[in-house]
Amino acid sequence: MANVTVIGAQWGDEGKGKIVDWLAERADVVVRFQGGHNAGHTLVVGDNVYKLSLLPSGIVRGTLSVIGNGVVLDPWHFKEEVAKLAGQGVIITPENLQIAETCPLILPFHRDLDGLREDASGAGKIGTTRRGIGPAYEDKVGRRAIRVCDLAHLDDLGPQVDRLTAHHDALRAGFGEPPVDREALMAELRAIADFILPYARPVWLTLNEAKKRGDRILFEGAQGVLLDVDHGTYPFVTSSNTIAGTAAGGSGLGPSAVGFVLGIVKAYTTRVGSGPFPSELEDEIGQRLGERGHEFGTVTGRKRRCGWFDAVLVRQSVAVSGVTGIALTKLDVLDGFDELKICTGYRIGDRHYDYLPAHSQDQAKAEAVYETIEGWQDTTAGARSWAELPAQAIKYIRRIEELIGCPVTLVSTSPQRDDTILVRDPFAD
């Protein structure tokens, strides 16, 4: 049985939470391998709605869940999220949740710096969640980070804190802010350490043992390929690599463990925050998509920008992330449209492109070239087989497959986990 890696193949918010939950019931382990609590995964299980930011979606099902070394961890948010889920009846213990002992920590001054930078950017705002994700990753690659394992050695942390605060004090001074309060920082770390440390494990060892047993491992990506720091619409991207290959480095398993790569794709396109969006609709159709799709960010609550399906961008995501099959979500949002459009290329000045150029100025000038396809009036909501879909909806799906060069593996027709059409079983490959 194959492992499965789930990634977003657009700008995030594609409905990964439901798909991961649907798959997690059949997995033995679920792993988060990048990002932080800037993720927003909503799970609808019966009458219960669970909103996760940091914890792997498998935790709701009681599946062994792992936060890998590629994640940046806010320990205080972690405690809050555990308490929130406990209030919904989800019991979380070190028996069903492990945190990589090498995870870098998001500290209070990371959140401060994130907000200060964004406020000072004016029209150049990136659109971050202001949760300290980017600054924490900067300290990781700058070899200044405090990691989960350091919480067990706080009395020896002095030189490391010196180096870390020297860097941040200089940055804070540039914004007219006082230096980091070292005593307060150490007090906060001591207060949270006893809560975090029981979950700390060498998760690379846990996962390699699971692999040897033949356990089914589900890797859960956050954000989307178009927000990848290398392959996304830079600089309007997140601070981590969101492609499937990151599952290997961000978990401690080799590339051979990635398995079937399932790219999650909405039947239309959305984006939160700033950045290029060639197929965006700033009219009543875009508003209709947003209202019907309930397009508000799980983490930020920000209204999402909406537009037609962009086959060019999804084709790029399929290529750079090695996607094996697509899970198409929110098909029901398109019910009732007389006609639908699919972006098949871009026009920038006199040139036609079948990919999105790398430079932000070119991206901003890109005009979508559309193909029009007939819509359908019957409902797809709740469909669980091809026979329940209108013929024109099937034609729409087939055309998407042709344009992106990748088969559709799953079709989601509502937020409910069982309203899913299984075309190909990712775990069976």
Among 13, 21, 74, 150, which one carries the catalytic annotation? 13
* Residue 428, pLDDT score: 82
* Residue 297, pLDDT score: 65
* Residue 1, pLDDT score: 54
Among 37, 41, 168, 231, which one carries the catalytic annotation? 41
Bridge-based pairing of strands 408-412 and 420-422 is antiparallel
* Residue 72, pLDDT score: 97
Task: Walk along the chain (429 residues) and give the pLDDT tens digit of each residue.
Answer: 589 999 999 999 898 888 888 898 889 999 999 999 987 777 777 788 888 989 998 899 889 999 999 999 999 999 999 999 999 999 999 999 999 999 999 999 999 998 898 888 766 666 677 889 999 999 999 999 999 999 999 999 999 999 999 999 999 999 999 999 999 999 999 999 999 999 999 999 999 999 999 999 999 999 999 999 999 999 999 999 999 999 999 999 989 999 999 999 999 999 988 899 999 999 999 999 999 998 976 566 678 999 999 999 999 999 999 999 999 999 999 999 999 999 999 999 999 999 999 999 999 999 999 999 999 999 999 999 999 999 999 999 999 999 999 999 999 998 887 899 999 889 886
* Residue 125, pLDDT score: 67
For the record, the structure tokens of 401 come out as 């497959």
Neighbouring residues of 53: CB distance < 8 A, sequence distance ≥ 6? 37, 38, 39, 40, 41, 77, 81, 298, 299
The CB density around residue 250, as the number of other CB atoms within 10 Å, is 23
Whether the ω angle into residue 357 lies within 30 degrees of 0, i.e. cis, is no
* Residue 218, pLDDT score: 96
The CB density around residue 272, as the number of other CB atoms within 10 Å, is 23
Q: 108-120 vs 133-141: helix axis angle to the nearest 10? A: 110
Largest CA distance in the chain: 67
**Whether the Cβ atoms of residue 261 and residue 324 lie closer than 8 Å to each other:** yes
SS3 track for the chain: CCCEEEEECCCCCCCHHHHHHHHHCCCCEEEECCECCCCCEEEEECCEEEEECCCCHHHHHCCEEEECCCECECHHHHHHHHHHHHHCCCCCCCCCEEEECCCEECCHHHHHHHHHHHHHCHHHCCCCCCCCHHHHHHHHHCCCCCEHHHHHHHHHCHHHHHHHHHHHHHHHHHCCCCCCCHHHHHHHHHHHHHHHHHHEECHHHHHHHHHHHCCCEEEECCCCHHHCCCCCCCCCCCCCCCCCCHHHHCCCCCHHHCCEEEEEEECCEEECCCCCCCCECCCHHHHHHHHHCCCECCCCCCECEEECEEHHHHHHHHHHHCCCEEEEECHHHHCCCCEEEEEEEEEECCEEECCCCCCHHHHHHCEEEEEEEECCCCCCCCCCCHHHCCHHHHHHHHHHHHHHCCCEEEEECCCCCCCEEECCCHHHC
Q: How far is CA 178 from CA 10, 108, 139, 182, 322, in A?
A: 40, 14, 19, 12, 46
For the record, the structure tokens of 209 come out as 């043992």
* Residue 301, pLDDT score: 67
Residue 13 bears catalytic tag: yes
Q: How far apart are CA 225 and CA 232, in angstroms?
A: 6
* Residue 303, pLDDT score: 86
Residue 41 bears catalytic tag: yes
Is pTM beyond 0.75? Reply is: yes
* Residue 276, pLDDT score: 95
Q: How far apart are CA 220 and CA 17, in angstroms?
A: 9
* Residue 277, pLDDT score: 96
